[in-house]
Homo-oligomer: A and B are copies of this chain.
Amino acid sequence: MFIYYYEWGEAMRRKDDQKQLSIKQAVIKTILAEGFHGASISKIAKAAGVSPATVYVYYDSKDAMLRDIYKEYSEDIYTYVVKRVTREMDGKQLIESLVRSYYNYITEHGEVFYFVEQFSSCPALVNNCRNRHNRSQVGMLLDDLKKRQVIKNVDNITITALMFNPVKSIALQPEVRPEVKSGVLEDLIRMIQDALLKKQP
């Protein structure tokens, strides 16, 4: 008589990456549609096309799920902006690039950005997970500019606050039309350059 044992190989890998992805997308989509507190597991599961119980195959709890997705995306925007910087850029160009990339990321990845923002604004959730990897890449960039006397020698949190928060608030304005936003963005870039760059004698 034959006895067969199944080998734990590729064929048996049944934890479905596609399914987990669709859950993640459903989370982000549902939170955008229903707000953070309106995104229940059952709504998310319905949006993902799975049973509520299936969510718990992939995540230990709702909080853990949100935290995992947050961790995955929280630093995404900084990776994005840093990747678009090149060596040839001078200080002025670099500031423009960073601000513009930040804006572009928001328009291109609105749902994800919105999710991260929502999550960040809830202290109860965000306090449990800290990861500052790619953000620090921005910090290194700024440190270099300061050393090279290109930008003013102030704390990085001051610089990033000035560079990213105004453009964020513009990008998220639901009432302002994109064309207007473009113009505003140009003005903003000039003004941030004025604020940050050292005046050359």
Give Cα A127–Cα B33 distance, bound, in whole angstroms.
Answer: 13
A166 contact set on B, CB distance < 8 A: 158, 161-162, 165-166
Partner of A2, one of B6, B121, B123, B191: B6
Interface of A toward B, CB cutoff 8 Å: 1-9, 11-12, 34-38, 117-118, 121-125, 127, 152, 154-155, 157-158, 161-162, 165-170, 173-174, 176, 180, 183-184, 187-188, 191-192, 194-196
Could you tell me the distance between the alpha carbons of A191 and B196 in the complex, rounded to whole angstroms?
7
A125 partner residues in chain B, CB cutoff 8 A: 35
Complexed CA–CA distance, A177 and B5 (Å): 51
**B residues in contact with A168, CB < 8 Å:** 165
Q: Is the CB–CB distance between B188 and A158 below 8 Å?
A: yes
A-B contact pairs, 12 of them (CB 8 A): A1-B8, A35-B122, A37-B122, A121-B121, A127-B174, A155-B180, A155-B183, A155-B184, A155-B187, A158-B187, A158-B188, A161-B169
Q: How many copies does the complex hold?
A: 4
Tell which of B170, B184, B195 touches A192, judged by Cβ atoms closer than 8 Å: B195
Identify A1's interface contact among B9, B127, B196, CB under 8 A. B9
A196: chain B residues at CB < 8 Å are 191
Give the 6 A-B residue pairs with the shortest CB-CB distance, closest first: A37-B37, A165-B165, A195-B195, A161-B166, A191-B195, A154-B187
Please measure, in the bound complex, the distance between the C-alpha atom of A5 and the C-alpha atom of B16, giving whole angstroms.
13
User: A171 CA to B7 CA in the complex, in Å?
Assistant: 49
CA distance A157 to B170 in the complex (A): 8
Q: How far is the CA of A174 from the CA of B126 in the complex (A)?
A: 11
CA distance A23 to B44 in the complex (A): 29
